[in-house]
Structure 1
Amino acid sequence: MFEKIPPRALSDTVAQQLQKQIEKGSFAGTGKLPSEAMLAQQFGVSRTVIREAISRLKNEGMVEPRQGSGVFIVERAGIRPLRIDYAQAVEPGAVVQILALRRAIEAEVASEAAFRRSAAHMAAIDRALAQIDVAVREARDGVAEDVAFHREIATASGNPYFLKTLTFLNQYLEAGTLVTRGNEALREDFMRQVREEHAAIVEAIRARDADAARRAAQTHLINAARRLAEAGIY
């Protein structure tokens, strides 16, 4: 049923092939995927790759792992889940488009966080910002720390749907953030600008200024696209 694949983008390729088979109704008889061991054998990959692929399908609402029973296909009753092709998410036009998507979502997330945040939320946001600084000092790309910073702001918004949306987008945000932060690390002025923009978002949230938080988040993501253009990357 499946083709063996090269050792690159393994989990992405496995997830895409599984998705196609699910949509074709290949597992309709049992309503569940073959076992992890069987899938690993058929694809010619490790079980870790299979688990990562299944985790992606779970995040997209296509499958539901059940303890001790296997991984079941989710009956959607005609509802189509949102999907983004991971391979396309790092293509030139897509990175800029995802930044626009982030701007639309995260501006409102920051605004709500300013309105609803607690002292505990504020402390978590401060810690997340500090972790980005640590990553920069240690010459790491800071991708995970950057994504975690924005996730803490979403948590502070108190809106579970913001958080769920960003959790779904996380894998694609990491792809885009890898590009933007990789670009920004090339120039000291870029890194300084990013630090100042993050700090502006945090201070607006701390001041409970929802409008300022919205503007700061918008400015940050507009500038991220500008920095890519200035560097001649996209």
Structure 2
Amino acid sequence: MTPAIPGAVAETDDPAGGTFDTGTLGERVAEKLVAKIREEGIAPGTRLPSEHAMAQHFGVSRTIMREAIALLKADGLLTTRKGSGAFVCKTALPRAARGDPLTEQSVQSLLNLTEVRRGLEAEIAALAAVRRTPGQLAAIEHALRGVEDAMRAGGDGVEEDVRFHLCIAEATGNPYWVRFVEMFTQQIRLAVKVTRANEARRLDFMNQVREEHERIVAALAAGDADRARAAAGDHMLCVAERVRLADRDFWAGSGGELARDLVSSFGR
């Protein structure tokens, strides 16, 4: 069955729903479409609605919709078959990261780790929401303030970010969750270095991270496991999206170097 693509978008509006608002209209429609595919878990091989139907749903012209599909096809996220339409492919690397094999491997490693962290962090947050003590909640809130203080002081907030997530694991009351996180602390730290460096290049990215962290803490404070699970999982999805939106200059410079450190860490 062909999935519906909800969310009409006028060509004069922001089709990215206010989340990622840069690029041409075609690029922003492409971002909204791929976000919807991931959000709804549309499986590889699934046929999308017709170009005409999607253009109507997004409130854009068929020319703009065709541009969006072409961009996602170039990224390896969609494939088209003559007479059949567009189909979802497996997740692919962003175009900006392509060209150098080592950089490609490094960025894919980063995305793979982020995918693993999504499931891990979501379940940890859900458990922490119903098990945390007042003291543990205070420690989590203190750790979050530490992230913001580090950023205001001109730091990268990496160690503070790692500590924030570890505090949430400790709030599960299950030492095995903590040990599981600690097993990957080195890789998580290196991954956070990459994502933090990317996010520091754009104020909107930095604001998004702050808001995502605050939503996690709010759910923990409310003792709402479902909200906490969703907030933590969404945070990791957004981390991956920001990685995909990093430009070629980032991957050719510091971003690529940091990502390669992540790959090297698995061989240590």
TM-score normalised according to structure 1 size: 0.61
Question: How many corresponding residue pairs?
Answer: 147
Q: Deviations over 1:166-199 (max 9, x none)?
A: 0111000001000001100110000000000000
Superposition map of 1:212-227 within 5 A:
212-227=227-242
AA matched with 1:134: D
Counterpart in the other structure of 2:138: 123
Q: 1:207: Cα distance to partner?
A: 0.1
Aligned match of 2:225 in 190, 210, 233? 210
- Distance across 2 between alignment mates of 1:158 and 1:97: 27
TM-score normalised according to structure 2 size: 0.53
Aligned match of 1:150 in 148, 161, 165? 165
- Distance across 1 between alignment mates of 2:237 and 2:106: 18
Q: 1:118: Cα distance to partner?
A: 0.4
Aligned match of 1:102 in 104, 110, 117? 117
* Identity within the alignment, %: 44
SS at match of 2:193: helix
Q: CA RMSD in A?
A: 1.7
- Distance across 1 between alignment mates of 2:107 and 2:246: 13
Q: 1:231: Cα distance to partner?
A: 1.5
Q: Deviations over 1:213-234 (max 9, x none)?
A: 0000011000000011112359
Aligned match of 1:140 in 136, 150, 155? 155
AA matched with 2:150: A
Q: Deviations over 1:119-151 (max 9, x none)?
A: 000000010000000011011111100000000
- Distance across 2 between alignment mates of 1:229 and 1:138: 27
Counterpart in the other structure of 2:15: none
Counterpart in the other structure of 1:166: 181
Dislocated runs of 4+, deviation >6 Å? none
Unaligned ranges ≥5, structure 1: 1-86
